[in-house]
Amino acid sequence: MLTWRRTHRWCGACREELADVPGETARRCPGCELYVPMGLSAAVLTAITRPGPAGGADELLLVRHAYGPAELWALVAGYLEAGESLEAAVHREVAEEVGLAVGRVTYFGSQPWAMSGPGTLLAGFTATAADPTAEPVVDGRELTQARWFPVDSLPAELPPAYSISRWLIDAAVTAARR
């Protein structure tokens, strides 16, 4: 909120200094009445699973990013583009980042996330690999690695317990054990 206020100081239309609107996450221009609500950025996270080998546990796709904590195994994620539904963003991000098609895209839950800047809302989804034999392909720029892990032997470097990423990973493990 503080960062947003600092970076939204002046009216974009008439250059007057904006004032906070009491009780709202918004500012208003005293000169021209321009109303400036805090813009939310929505991003999607997807936990993709596939059946494991005969007799083996289901597998979960985890990826490593080129930016941020590079050792962390995380989920495929990305910001929405203008005019896109959450579900469409899931299909696009998964296709772009790891070259896979997914099915059974199911809403899981959401979490406001201030770590990557003001006003980010994360929406979590579960999905299954449309082709269970397909292997992920990473571009080497945004992602450095992508791998299927059996849910009973996930790596130790997972997202923190307070993150929706981790809740999704834990839910995938629980679902696979049923």
**Residues binding Zn ion (CB under 5 A):** 11, 13-14, 16, 29, 31-32, 34
Report in angstroms how near the CB of residue 43 gets to Zn ion at its nearest.
Answer: 30
Report in angstroms how near the CB of residue 21 gets to Zn ion at its nearest.
Answer: 14
Whole-number Å distance between alpha carbons of 86 and 83: 10
Q: Report the residue number, 14 or 19, with the smaller CB distance to Zn ion.
A: 14
Q: Report the residue number, 34 or 171, with the smaller CB distance to Zn ion.
A: 34
Report in angstroms how near the CB of residue 23 gets to Zn ion at its nearest.
Answer: 21
Give the helix/strand (H/E) hosting 61. Answer: strand 59-65
Rg of the chain over all Cα atoms, to the nearest angstrom: 20
Whole-number Å distance between alpha carbons of 129 and 61: 9
Q: Which residues are bridge partners to 41 per DSSP?
A: 120
Q: Report the residue number, 32 or 95, with the smaller CB distance to Zn ion.
A: 32
Whole-number Å distance between alpha carbons of 81 and 46: 16
Specify the 3-state DSSP secondary structure of 178. coil
Q: Report the residue number, 7 or 153, with the smaller CB distance to Zn ion.
A: 7
Q: Report the residue number, 38 or 158, with the smaller CB distance to Zn ion.
A: 38
Report in angstroms how near the CB of residue 15 gets to Zn ion at its nearest.
Answer: 7
Identity at 52, one-letter amino acid code: G
State how far Cα 40 lies from the chain centre: 14
DSSP code string of 145-171: EEEEEETTS--S----TTSHHHHHHHH
Report in angstroms how near the CB of residue 34 gets to Zn ion at its nearest.
Answer: 5
